[in-house]
Amino acid sequence: MVETCSDFPVPKNDDNVPEIPIEIVSDEEMAFIEAALASASSFYAVPATRSPTCSSQFHRNAKSIRSITVVSKRRLSKRSEPDIEDSDNLVSTQKKSRLFESFLRRFRRKRGLSVTDLTQTEWCQKQMEFALCLGGRKTNKAMSAGIARHVELEEEVMKRVEVKVKSREEYYALKLLNFINGVNQLLFEGLTRELPVIGFLQGIWMVGMIDEIRMPLTENGSHPILIDTKTRARDTLPSEPQRRNGRLQLMCYKYLWDNLVADNFPSEQFFDFFELNPQHNLCEDLRVTCADSGFSVLTLDDVVRCYKNTCRMLLPAHDQLLLRYEFQKDHSLIGEDKFSYDSDWLEYQIGSCLKFWVGEREATYAPEEERWKCRFCEFASVCPAYLDDTKDDSNSSNQES
């Protein structure tokens, strides 16, 4: 059963709050930013928010560092011919012709992209490439603290119920059920957290988890407000690239939410893409859980119908979105970033990221003014851009001396 909650007024900015220092980035914060690189392969690996479920382990196709960087080295060097030492690898590279053509198919087949996939691609496409082909970084103390805080925030308003599932159909039925329960909580109590969403975004299936949604208490029929909480190891606001990345994440959530509300959930394509049998009979645990939630179902198709009916009850999300930055040590509020939804900017950012995923262009590097990111990237030692920058710095130092 869902725990009841009292009124939840929407957080407001305090204009009287003194100016807070802004840091570029810390080791701990950078580690947390990259946490999704270790779990970005993960829609299946993430347990259901309201009903934890068994997860499946998916294995990545490995590439050697040398085979990944050979194309990048040639591009950066601006030479028409590769090094002789690269000739052995050139043959295999030419056979594939476009290294990135199958990233979406190879790594997100039957799974779709996550919103985290997009934000990490926006952060640095080359880092995303390395993470996919070589494997992401391990979870560290800072990442674990952030994950634990989000679990704590969820458990303040929602009780977890264990449901064992045995098939892909039941896994997705559980995801959709969690959405239905979360929306019901939002409508009756004014707040829900960790809401899973599945939708279509520019022709690509996308999955995500909205941190928090609140209903303003001012009037009926209000548009829900989407909120994302970021935890930080230091009590300073993040750099602009980090804030930009957070804005992209929230705008993606609004895009998905609004599409669902507009009844843009293509059921047949959903079944086809994720290779699901709509007439699959659900296990008893799921049927009982659905009955406890107020509706009777037998198959996955029944759950999808309820999902779509639930979406029709909703209004588009508010155009004002809110990022909250919280200090990990004591959970105090560092600051807020309240901003407006920008559909043109979002469309551009999504299009740029998708070109990488569908193989229309090779991975780009972080822009020159943001190369400080490289100092915290575990793939810096094999990244041509970072190695070239380091070499240039070394040459400059030698010339000055």
265 to 112, 182, 204, 208: CA distances (angstroms):
14, 18, 12, 15
Q: What is the pLDDT of residue 96?
A: 44
Q: What is the pLDDT of residue 292?
A: 87
Q: 3-state class of 298 per DSSP?
A: coil
Domain ranges of the chain: 27-56+96-361, 365-396
Q: What is the pLDDT of residue 179?
A: 95
Residue 196 β-bridge partners: 209
Q: What is the pLDDT of residue 6?
A: 36
Contacts of 31 (CB under 8 A, 6+ apart): 137, 140, 142, 143, 376
Q: What is the pLDDT of residue 190?
A: 92
Nearest to 2 by CA among 183, 170, 150, 146: 183
Residue 361 β-bridge partners: none
Pair 214, 225: CB distance under 8 Å: yes
Residue 253: other Cβ atoms inside 10 A: 25
Pair 149, 328: CB distance under 8 Å: yes
Distance from C-alpha of 240 to C-alpha of 223, rounded to nearest angstrom: 28
Distance from C-alpha of 320 to C-alpha of 300, rounded to nearest angstrom: 35
Q: What is the pLDDT of residue 91?
A: 33
Cα–chain center distance at 99: 23
272 to 55, 142, 358: CA distances (angstroms):
21, 39, 19
Q: What is the pLDDT of residue 53?
A: 32
> What pTM did the predictor assign?
0.74
Distance from C-alpha of 125 to C-alpha of 133, rounded to nearest angstrom: 12
Mapped to the 3 state alphabet, what secondary structure does 176-200 carry? HHHHHHHHHHHHHHCEEEEEEEEEE
Distance from C-alpha of 86 to C-alpha of 144, rounded to nearest angstrom: 40
In the chain (401 residues long), the average pLDDT of successive 10-residue segments reads: 36 43 44 44 35 32 39 37 39 42 84 94 94 76 68 68 86 94 92 92 90 82 91 91 96 96 92 96 92 91 96 95 93 94 96 92 92 89 78 48 42
Pair 270, 287: CB distance under 8 Å: no
